[in-house]
């Protein structure tokens, strides 16, 4: 019998997955998987469990939680040489990666993706040595996920991100930065940058509809510093999936990106990786092509 390890965050989203584990285990068992559980009761539990596990013991890992939980598991796997396919049961708030991969929210159907779906290669980003799968971001809205009260976030879902984000607009300041890729250098004042491995983040699911999780390239999007009224128009365009061709946007694809702050206010040096606090700027980001394998629907 094949062995599968299910990591789950009991505090993600509406906290309901812990009451429905049997649905997933039933699907796995009927497909011939012996299922072992790891409950992420406190920070570090998932990473520590992976670090202490023989890399060759399991045939697959499954992560139930949001993008942050997936990020923690992926970092632990890459840091400790675990090369097994990863399945996702989305149970967080935004679930950006699962949305991009078209993984169903219904638990039994998500579990079926792992037993009956296909395994695809997935690029991984390295930001100053910290891995990410979905996004590395900086500037406006970057620390929204970390600042939102957990209960508020779980109650209002994606809408909580928008409310907290709008609250940041009153103190908005442009960020002078130097952006370097494989061929060009940009010096610009921006409000926000996104380095996307998939098509969206924070519930904006199709910011960059041409993205691919396995092409070896990132989609880079930065919003130039402009009057607030123009920023509002850009937000509307973002919702309408019509932003990358706007003149107020810096957009390119590349496998290497460096962002250097040309300012001294350290509160803006923080970055975000997959909804978790990331490394401080300056930041060098490299695409590690096809470093993970992920279950996707057929």
d(CA 105, CA 180): 38
Pick the closest to residue 8 from 91, 109, 115 (CA basis): 91
Q: How many distinct helices (H) and strands (E) make up the chain?
A: 9, 15
Q: Which two structure tokens, joined as six digits, stand for 207?
A: 């910011």
Return the DSSP state at 289. E
Quote the distance between the C-alpha of residue 251 and its chain's center.
19
Please give the C-alpha separations between residue 264 and each of 170, 177, 224, 292, in angstroms, as whole numbers: 20, 11, 19, 37
Residues annotated as part of the active site: 276
How is residue 201 annotated by DSSP? Answer: B
What CA–CA distance (Å, rounded) separates 112 from 17? 16
Distance CA 5, CA 36 (A): 5
Count CB atoms within 10 A of the CB of residue 244. Answer: 17
**Are the C-beta atoms of residues 263 and 55 closer than 8 Å to each other?**
no
Query: Cβ neighbours of residue 296 under 8 Å, at least 6 residues apart?
Result: 101, 102, 103, 113, 117, 118, 119, 120
- Distance between CA atoms of residues 144 and 202, nearest Å: 9
């Amino acid at each position: 019998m094949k062995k599968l390890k299910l990591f789950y965050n009991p505090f993600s989203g509406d906290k309901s997955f812990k009451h429905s584990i049997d649905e997933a285990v039933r699907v796995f068992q009927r497909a011939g998987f012996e299922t072992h559980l790891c409950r992420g009761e406190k920070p570090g539990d998932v990473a520590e469990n992976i670090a202490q596990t023989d890399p060759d013991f399991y045939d697959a890992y499954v992560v139930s939680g949001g993008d942050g939980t997936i990020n923690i598991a992926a970092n632990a796997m890459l840091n400790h040489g675990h090369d097994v396919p990863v399945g996702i049961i989305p149970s967080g708030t935004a679930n950006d990666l699962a949305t991009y991969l078209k993984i169903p929210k219904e638990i039994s159907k998500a579990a079926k993706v792992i037993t009956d779906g296909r395994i695809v290669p997935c690029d991984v980003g390295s930001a100053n040595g910290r891995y990410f799968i979905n996004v590395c971001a900086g500037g406006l809205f970057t620390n929204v996920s970390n600042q939102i009260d957990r209960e508020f976030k779980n109650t209002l879902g994606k809408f909580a991100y928008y409310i907290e984000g709008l609250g940041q607009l009153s103190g908005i300041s442009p960020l002078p930065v130097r952006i370097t890729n494989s061929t060009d250098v940009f010096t610009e004042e921006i409000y926000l940058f996104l380095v996307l491995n998939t098509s969206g983040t924070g519930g904006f699911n199709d910011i960059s509809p041409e993205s691919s999780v396995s092409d070896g390239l990132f989609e880079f999007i930065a919003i130039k510093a402009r009057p607030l009224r123009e920023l509002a128009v850009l937000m509307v365009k973002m919702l309408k999936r019509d932003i990358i061709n706007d003149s107020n946007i810096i957009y390119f694809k590349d496998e290497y990106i460096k962002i250097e702050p040309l300012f001294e206010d350290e509160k803006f040096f923080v970055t975000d990786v997959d909804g978790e606090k990331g490394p401080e700027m300056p930041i060098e980001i490299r695409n590690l092509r096809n470093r993970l394998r992920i279950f996707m629907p057929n």
